[in-house]
Homo-oligomer: A and B are copies of this chain.
Amino acid sequence: MTDPKGRGRQRSSESEEAILKATLQLLKEKSLRDITVDAIARKAGVGKMTIYKWWPSKAYVALDAFRKKMNKVVVMPDTGDTERDLAELLYSIMSFYISPTGRIFSQFLAESQSDPEFAVLFREHFLKPRRESVGVFLDRAMKEGAIDHTLNREILLDLIFGPMVFRLMAGHGALNRAESDAMISTLLRGIRSNAPKLKRASGDKAAVIQV
C-alpha cells in the first residue's frame, strides 16, 4: 500500500509476520469464518488496529498468509507424456488443497460469495497467475500436437480443475490419485463411445430432473 518510504516510523515486519503466522496456525484448527480478528491479534501479540490498518478483513489476511506459505513451489511435471504430466499436476494440486493448510482454498471461494471485492482480489492475484502457469503448459502441448490445438484454453483449464473444485466444495467424492488419474484419462480420451450407437427404444420416457 504505502510504497517507498514515509516520513515516520516504518512498518513493523515483525508484527506483519507474526500476524500471518498466527493466522495460518488458527486456520489449521478452525474455518475462516470461525476465527476472529481478536484471536489473531492476541496470538500474534499485536494490536487489533495494526491488522485493520493493513488489511480490510481477516479474509485478506488469510489470503496473504496463504500465498506466503506457498513458497513451496511445485515444478510442473515434464516427462513429455502429456497424460502423465496432467495427472501428476492435478494430483499434486489436489493433495495440497485437501491438506490442513491447503483447505483454506475452499474457504476463499466461500468468502468470495459474500465479499465481491475479495472475490476480485482472489481471482486476479491468486487464481489468474496460477491458471496462466498451467496455460503455458497447455499451449505448448497444443503446439506440439499432444492436445487438440483448436480447443479453448479457458475451457480446458476448467475441465481439468473444475471436477476437483466441485468435490472440494461439496465433499461428495474422493480426491486421491485414482480419481485424478481417472479424471485426466477420461478427459483426454473423451466420454463418447466408439461403439456403434444403439437404436433408441421408442417407449422410453424422458427422465425428469429438478434443476
B residues in contact with A65, CB < 8 Å: none
Complex Cα distance A134/B109, Å?
26
Q: Which residue of B lies closest to A155 (CB)?
A: B182
Q: Is the CB of A76 within 8 A of B159?
A: no
User: How many copies, total?
Assistant: 2
Complex Cα distance A122/B158, Å?
24
- Of residues 80 through 102 on chain A, the ones whose CB sits less than 8 Å from some CB of chain B are 80, 82-83, 89, 92-93, 96, 102
A207 at the interface (CB under 8 A from B): yes
B residues in contact with A144, CB < 8 Å: 197-198, 200
Range for the number of chain A residues in contact with chain B:
35 or more
The contact string, 1 if C-beta is below 8 Å from chain B, for chain A 172-211, is 1100000100110011111111111110100010111111
Complex Cα distance A80/B201, Å?
10
For A109, A140, A204, the residue with the greatest tally of chain B CB atoms inside 10 Å of its CB is: A109
Chain A residues near B (Cβ < 8 Å): 31-34, 70-78, 80, 82-83, 89, 92-93, 96, 102, 106-107, 109-114, 119, 122-123, 127-131, 133-134, 136-137, 140, 142-149, 151-152, 154-156, 158-159, 161-167, 169-173, 179, 182-183, 186-198, 200, 204, 206-211
| Further 6 A-B residue pairs, CB within 8 A, beyond A70-B210, A119-B170 | A31-B114, A74-B209, A109-B113, A145-B196, A146-B193, A159-B162
